Amino acid sequence: MSSKPRIKPANAQDDRPVSISARLGRLQFHHSGKFRVLQLADIQDGPKVSKDTIRLIEASLDATRPDLVIFTGNQIAGYDTAFEGSFRKRRWSEEPVRASAVERTRELVRKAIGQFTAPMAERGIPWAVTYGNHDFQCGLDNSALDALYREFPGCVNPSREGKRTSSVGSPLPEQTVYTCATPEPGTFALPVHNEDGTRNVLGLALIDSGDYAHGGGFGTPSAGALDLLRRLPRLIGAKTMVFQHMPLPEYYQVLKPVEAKTAFAMQGYRAHAETYYVLDDAKTQPGGYLGEGISCPDQSEEFAILRDARIGGDRQVDGDSSVGENLGGDRHINCDSDAEKVEAKVPDGIEAKGSAYIGVVAGHDHRNGFVGEYEGLLLIATPTCGFNTYGPAPAKRAARLIEFDIRHPYEPRTQLLEFGELVGKPSSKKAYTYAVNQATPGEGEGDDLLRKPSLWSRIKALLRGR
């Protein structure tokens, strides 16, 4: 797999939608044989989104002209002081919150969404969102957040009622959307057609990977989301790439345990906290980096579902099929809907051995950027693109381009589009980097990445190091 697809600059004289799929009305490979997705991970900002975050998004869009943009969670820094009146530390928190505080937060979140989705609206590029472990902390649950996103042009997230995706019109009027039996915000799948628009050749699945677990650590996808992953191979009839916020525990399988004193070694998280790691060169592509331990659930059955899934079965719903309702221009089909009984098979001319899934693209760990492979699945980590949160040096904050080629659609090429290369110097010095805690997290908490260390804590750390 080549690490860098070719990128051509956008044509300033062309005023059509930048997304070829938007011009066609559904996600579809170009006649050039290419299909591009741009991933944006962990903007993690408050009501006033960093100017440099917006500059990175704009430059990435202009450089790549993607068919679709996918936000993989933690767009909203729910712990931001602007949301303190409605802040919820955990979903199950029961502290009373005034309705006026929730409404104020709703307006502030709406303001933030408008800022970081404007670059797509201006260019005619459709986009989709899923959720992380900080979005809900603002005081709006994911259903409320989903409703806000659908107010903005370009959003392809389906509603819980299966109605049209956006209050301002669908950006992909002929697009099929698969949801859970009971639709869940941030969890759905989008089939991608071949150049002629005659059949599915690829799937893109967005999964809400959960937030926190009772008793400590991070959560996992819901039972409904896992059931969707089991059913998608029969529905789409082609291999699927999964996009979500949280990395899987199996990401540790592409790391190599080393001595703590090894250069660039990073301490693991929770169950792995007694071990230090570096990237395993035999299992990862050149050019990746590990800037913190993998923060993931202690256990998850998701990887096994993806690894063991196979294309086949007695049910497939093709985008050209008449099944399902055409709601507001979008075919919205849940996994329990009656579907035409046809044979699900791999598209002609495309080899699809092994799993029905290509791999997982995740964010969450702001200082990790690598592409690994384990048991036939790609495990991709993308750093933050935000400038009001912790992360790598400003020049290394990035978006990720994933380019699929119709000749071998299950061997995508990918690269990080870094701020330093695309934009240059940041306009402010607000972006910061710092080490994660070395102590084992307490019950119910992950590594505390939300605060910049105080001057006193840094002085104590220096004294301990002497």
Looking at residue 116, its pLDDT comes to 98
d(CA 187, CA 184): 6
pLDDT in the model for residue 315: 39
* pLDDT over 70 at 331, yes or no: no
Structure confidence at residue 340 as a pLDDT band (50, 70, 90): very low
- CA distance linking residue 104 with residue 329, whole number of Å: 33
Residues 212-269 have pLDDT tens digits of 999 999 999 999 999 999 999 999 999 999 999 999 999 999 999 999 999 999 999 9
Range from 207-216, 231-240, 437-446 carrying the lowest mean pLDDT: 437-446
pLDDT at residue 325, rounded to an integer: 29
Predicted pLDDT of residue 445: 29
pLDDT at residue 448 is higher than 70: no
CA distances, 92 to each of 141, 155, 169, 244 (Å): 11, 28, 35, 22
pLDDT value for 456: 62
Predicted local distance difference test score (pLDDT) of residue 334: 58
| DSSP for residue 155 | B
Contact 104, 86 (CB under 8 A): yes
pLDDT at 440 over 50: no
- pLDDT in the model for residue 454: 56
pLDDT in tens, 111-136: 999 999 999 999 999 999 999 999 99
Q: Tell me which H or E stretch contains 234.
A: helix 223-236
pTM, two decimal places: 0.86
pLDDT of 86-108, one tens digit each? 999 999 998 899 999 999 999 99
Mean pLDDT of 275-292: 97
C-alpha to C-alpha distance for 110 and 105, rounded to whole angstroms: 8
Identify whether the C-beta of residue 243 lies closer than 8 Å to the C-beta of residue 380.
no
463 vs 145, residue with greater confidence:
145
CB burial of residue 54 (10 Å; 0-12, 13-18, 19+): middle
For residue 328, is pLDDT > 70?
A: no
pLDDT reading at 274 higher than 70: yes
Average pLDDT, the chain: 85
**Res. 346 pLDDT band, cuts 50 70 90:** low
